[in-house]
Structure 1
Amino acid sequence: MQSTLPDSLPTPRLIIGSDELVTGGGGSYEHHYPATGAVQAVVPLAGAGEVDAAVSAARQAFPGWRDLDLNRRRDVLLAIAQRLIGDSTRLAAIATHEMGIPNLLAGGAAQLAAEWFSYYAGWIGKTGGEVVSIPSGDALDYVRDEPLGVVATIIPWNGPLIAIGMKVAPALAAGNCVVLKPPENAPFTALRFAELAAEAGLPPGVLSVVPGDGLAGSALCSHPGVDKITFTGGGETARKVLTAAAQALTPVMLELGGKSANIVFPDADLDAAASMAVGAGLVTLSGQGCMLPTRLLLHNDVYDEMVTRVVGAAQALSVGDPWDSATLMGPLATAAHLERVSQAVESAVDAKDGALLCGRERPADLGDGYYYRPTVFGDVDPGSDLAQNEIFGPVLSILRFGTDEEAVALANNTQYGLAAYIHTRDLRRTHAMAAALDAGGVAVNGFPIVPPGAPFGGTKQSGFGREGGIWGLREFQRTKNVYIGLQ
């Protein structure tokens, strides 16, 4: 099939050390523009051979990057941050072509990623060196924080640039080299990032980019030359990552799915709560986000009023061309994902999991793009698939509760534990709920921006490990103890 590569998209290729390959052992992937369904690029995919070459290039580059003057390493990360900001317009265009994000909203990702690189640049040289007290005084014992070596970084398609900031920035800051595997349907952001990083002075081999599917992922996760794996994605793929990593006993950090509860109490600012329920639960990334509040838990006293507000706002949403400045909600990422979301909604209707309040349709006037109207279910059965399973699309489930204890029980009643949200003016309730909710992060009266200094990660089936802050840096370091006898 003929493809037309937009000017903003970098040439599809693999970047391995100083080499650039336009073919790969994993075959190729036809990338379709989500807004029209038309093929716009053919992406070469890495196979086991290219993965091995990328890991080898990283191992060769590691000593030089590890031992580089720390001020120079810091300056490279700061230069990357500057280039991300300077390239924000093109990076936004890439995001729109890559997964259909409304261009009006896509520009913020470059600023967020730049903040992660600037933040971790500031950590360079500031960890390790602790002295351990020896009671007898006849020895000096101290601690070194050292890089791991080669980090396999597997990022998702729904927010690749932010994932690069959260994963690649701390890995590089700690002194590691990175083999970055973007998914086959979203390779362009990672490729453009590699170009910017090289311009900023990152040495060849410190970062390689190997777009690929499960074949490349399996080769990377089972490779004996990889020292750590960081993965963001779904639970099914995560189990494959863990199985592959077990062959070499490679440690893994996982950031997985969510079915986050958004709890609204009668004393809340209902305007703000309704705006967030629609904006974060349906509009953001067209619902394709792991930490989005996709379960709306409403107190009985405000249930009817909130449902009226939410349904009205959902029906008024502008769904359409992502290049239109009036568009707030674009298409889903792929035809396959559109089918999965549609099937999940149809299954919920057939099973009578809840009352369909709006949505459940593709816009008839938007051609072959992967659009799906925001869909809201009310009075959802807490034990149903609709309430329990991550749909990863613009589908909101609304449930009722009567007491604080019931709200906590409903919120915690899933296999996931990534995020939770509370709307209340009661400070006592705020602290009690935050302690009781089984989630890696709790936000009160707002949607978090995930600042780089704060820990981010989940519990239960939402994964383990943390990104952000000193916790995110230590994911990519090993601790060495040094004991020197003084007798």
Structure 2
Amino acid sequence: MLTTESLVEFEQMKMFIDGEWKDAENTNTISVVNPSTGKTIGQIPNGGRSETRNAIEAAERAFKMWSNLTANERGDYLLKLRDLMHDNKQQLAEIMSMEMGKPFSEGQGEVVYAASFLAWFAEEGRRIYGETIPASSTNKRLIVTRQPVGVVAAITPWNFPLAMMTRKLGPALAAGCTGIVKPAKQSPISALAFAKLAELAGIPKGVINVVTGESGPIADEIFENKTVRKISFTGSTEIGKLLVSKSAAQLKRLSLELGGHAPFIVFEDADLELAATGAVASKYRNTGQTCVCANRVYVHRSVMERFSEILIQKVKELKVGNSLESGVQVGPLVSKEGLSKVEEHVKDALEKGARLLCGGRRMDGELADGNFYEPTVLTDVNRTMLVTREETFGPVAPLIPFDSEEEVLSEANDTDYGLAAYFYTENLSRAIRVSEALEFGIIGMNDAVPAVPQAPFGGMKESGIGREGGHQGLDEYLEDKFISLSFQTKK
């Protein structure tokens, strides 16, 4: 069994290009800071256009060989990489905790989740089916084949640095594509550790390349280089719109998983204990820094008081602290800017009439050096407040009362976002009505964590284009080719 004692050397981190570990050509570096302590944990190369071009060229050279492998052969590589992720779960979780503040137990869960995409697409890649179509004449045969799109680029976010990478690379590699990964500068070390595992798995050089550095120059090369045929990006809607504009010059294929503003609806017939448990799981996972977390918690007025009591009790029991500390459930915000945004949203809500039920302040004492904010619950929240219109991206749950199904559906859908929505009810008729009426790509009905590798993940409206996961995720990396074959029949 392949394992490694140290996936990365924090003092000498390098990019992974064409099967080799390389510094930036200009030797410049970027500091990676632990948000739990405020201390620098290492330096990554600040690569730019030249390094990105080299990585793209390496992927292009590797494409013919990789795409010519059988689906079984590519799948076997992915399964070997999956096994290595499991073997190194603890170290990968530690890296995530140090670089972006994910609680260690959550980090372990992310490793398992990330590895599951490799397993799913290793199998799904064996089922890339073409088709034959009945022809309109006897001397023709109509055939549709499916081929890999070519060299791809994955631009990944900091909040799920491993899972978002495998959710993109899994289907890309299974389809026969090769490519490059540009990780977020807040959490690049996970991507470098993943590249090390790819090397240990024996994946041929050039198939996977990791370029670290500032986004601007790297993205410019990706979008202007004609070799790159497909780009998958996870990040903010604001940046996603810019990337759509940049893709227009070459009509590059895009998958965009963008921002969200998820409603979480608790109807009067809901199991309140189950709903409160789900609200905590959705809202405070990864310190509220997920694109699918509950942003607006709508509670039927008749059960607001009881639901609030149950929720507050559960929130107060959450353990906050250094993400590597045993038992910690809520870690730091990823940056000072993120912490300031949370403070601004809470202050704005309180000034406009909201009441604080628990939390509501930056944490001090032994946590003062980190970006910590107390898990917070607000009530008497209304539509004038920032928390109801913008992603807070932090551990703040705003409670909003409602009186009818029609009212809450109108409120829930009144957003430019359409990524995820949640609701709790024990009424089957209502479950069907509400799940069909909500204008969101992912619906959790009595389920606060619906995402799985075998189902499509993506949004409506300004929350994105395309889907990741499921067979739909594989479709994003394939081109359909129609072949009309004409032949002579015997006279």
TM over 0.5: yes
Matched residue SS, 1:185? coil
Please tell me whether the aligned partners of residues 151 and 229 of structure 1 are also in contact (alpha carbons under 8 angstroms).
Answer: yes
Give the TM-score normalised by structure 2.
Answer: 0.94
**Shift in Å, 1:268:** 1.1
Q: Which residue number in structure 1 is paired with residue 262 of structure 2?
A: 260
Q: Which residue number in structure 2 is paired with residue 30 of structure 1?
A: 31
Residue identity in the other structure for 1:309:
I
- Residues 135/369 of structure 1: CA separation in 2 closer, same or farther (3 Å cut): same
Q: What's the CA shift string for 1:394-423, capped at 9, x where partnerless? A: 111211111111111111111111111111
Please tell me whether the aligned partners of residues 361 and 372 of structure 1 are also in contact (alpha carbons under 8 angstroms).
Answer: yes
**Greater CA deviation, 62-71 or 10-19?**
10-19
Please tell me whether the aligned partners of residues 267 and 424 of structure 1 are also in contact (alpha carbons under 8 angstroms).
Answer: yes
Residue identity in the other structure for 2:405:
D
Q: How many residues align?
A: 480
Please tell me whether the aligned partners of residues 45 and 184 of structure 1 are also in contact (alpha carbons under 8 angstroms).
Answer: no
Q: Which residue number in structure 1 is paired with residue 230 of structure 2?
A: 228
C-alpha separation in 1, matches of 2:45 and 2:219: 15
| Structure 1 segment 174-189 matched on structure 2, within 5 A | 174-189=175-190
Q: Which residue number in structure 1 is paired with residue 143 of structure 2?
A: 142
Residue identity in the other structure for 2:301:
N
Q: What's the CA shift string for 1:450-474, capped at 9, x where partnerless? A: 1111111001111110011111000
Q: Which residue number in structure 2 is paired with residue 94 of structure 1?
A: 95
Please tell me whether the aligned partners of residues 9 and 94 of structure 1 are also in contact (alpha carbons under 8 angstroms).
Answer: no
Please tell me whether the aligned partners of residues 178 and 208 of structure 1 are also in contact (alpha carbons under 8 angstroms).
Answer: yes
**Shift in Å, 1:236:** 1.6
Q: Which residue number in structure 2 is paired with residue 3 of structure 1?
A: none
**Shift in Å, 1:14:** 1.2
Please tell me whether the aligned partners of residues 260 and 291 of structure 2 are also in contact (alpha carbons under 8 angstroms).
Answer: yes
C-alpha separation in 1, matches of 2:444 and 2:211: 36
Q: Which residue number in structure 2 is paired with residue 360 of structure 1?
A: 360
Q: Does 1:122 align with 2:158?
A: no
Please tell me whether the aligned partners of residues 282 and 449 of structure 2 are also in contact (alpha carbons under 8 angstroms).
Answer: no
C-alpha separation in 1, matches of 2:128 and 2:283: 38
Give the 4+ runs in structure 1 shifted more than 6 A: none
Q: What's the CA shift string for 1:363-400, capped at 9, x where partnerless? A: 21213011111122212112432201111111112111
C-alpha separation in 1, matches of 2:327 and 2:20: 42
C-alpha separation in 1, matches of 2:49 and 2:337: 26
- Residues 20/427 of structure 1: CA separation in 2 closer, same or farther (3 Å cut): same
Please tell me whether the aligned partners of residues 381 and 400 of structure 2 are also in contact (alpha carbons under 8 angstroms).
Answer: yes
Q: Which residue number in structure 2 is paired with residue 61 of structure 1?
A: 62
Q: Which residue number in structure 1 is paired with residue 315 of structure 2?
A: 314
C-alpha separation in 2, matches of 1:252 and 1:401: 38
Please tell me whether the aligned partners of residues 112 and 162 of structure 1 are also in contact (alpha carbons under 8 angstroms).
Answer: yes
**Shift in Å, 1:340:** 2.5
Please tell me whether the aligned partners of residues 167 and 468 of structure 2 are also in contact (alpha carbons under 8 angstroms).
Answer: yes
* Unaligned stretches of 5+ residues in structure 1: 1-5
Matched residue SS, 1:482? strand
Please tell me whether the aligned partners of residues 218 and 241 of structure 1 are also in contact (alpha carbons under 8 angstroms).
Answer: no
Q: Which residue number in structure 1 is paired with residue 446 of structure 2?
A: 445
Residue identity in the other structure for 1:29:
I
Q: Which residue number in structure 1 is paired with residue 172 of structure 2?
A: 171
**Shift in Å, 1:7:** 6.4
Give the TM-score normalised by structure 1.
Answer: 0.95
Matched residue SS, 1:295? strand
Q: Does 1:217 align with 2:230?
A: no
Q: Does 1:271 align with 2:273?
A: yes
C-alpha separation in 1, matches of 2:69 and 2:9: 30
Please tell me whether the aligned partners of residues 58 and 207 of structure 1 are also in contact (alpha carbons under 8 angstroms).
Answer: yes
Q: Percent identity?
A: 35
Q: Which residue number in structure 2 is paired with residue 244 of structure 1?
A: 246
**Shift in Å, 1:302:** 0.3
Matched residue SS, 1:263? strand
Please tell me whether the aligned partners of residues 152 and 180 of structure 1 are also in contact (alpha carbons under 8 angstroms).
Answer: yes
**Shift in Å, 1:266:** 1.5
**Greater CA deviation, 469-478 or 103-112?**
103-112
Please tell me whether the aligned partners of residues 152 and 221 of structure 1 are also in contact (alpha carbons under 8 angstroms).
Answer: no
C-alpha separation in 2, matches of 1:85 and 1:398: 39
**Greater CA deviation, 380-389 or 408-417?**
380-389
Please tell me whether the aligned partners of residues 420 and 441 of structure 1 are also in contact (alpha carbons under 8 angstroms).
Answer: yes
**Shift in Å, 1:135:** 2.8
Please tell me whether the aligned partners of residues 125 and 171 of structure 2 are also in contact (alpha carbons under 8 angstroms).
Answer: no
Q: Which residue number in structure 2 is paired with residue 19 of structure 1?
A: 20
Q: Does 1:329 align with 2:330?
A: yes
Please tell me whether the aligned partners of residues 222 and 246 of structure 1 are also in contact (alpha carbons under 8 angstroms).
Answer: no
Residue identity in the other structure for 2:273:
D
- Residues 429/449 of structure 1: CA separation in 2 closer, same or farther (3 Å cut): closer
**Shift in Å, 1:485:** 0.5
**Shift in Å, 1:360:** 2.3
- Residues 459/25 of structure 1: CA separation in 2 closer, same or farther (3 Å cut): farther
Q: Does 1:113 align with 2:114?
A: yes
**Shift in Å, 1:10:** 4.2
Matched residue SS, 2:42? strand
Q: What's the CA shift string for 1:15-50, capped at 9, x where partnerless? A: 111232223559422111111101111121221111
**Shift in Å, 1:336:** 2.5
**Greater CA deviation, 405-414 or 339-348?**
339-348
Q: Which residue number in structure 2 is paired with residue 411 of structure 1?
A: 412
Matched residue SS, 2:232? strand
Matched residue SS, 1:317? coil
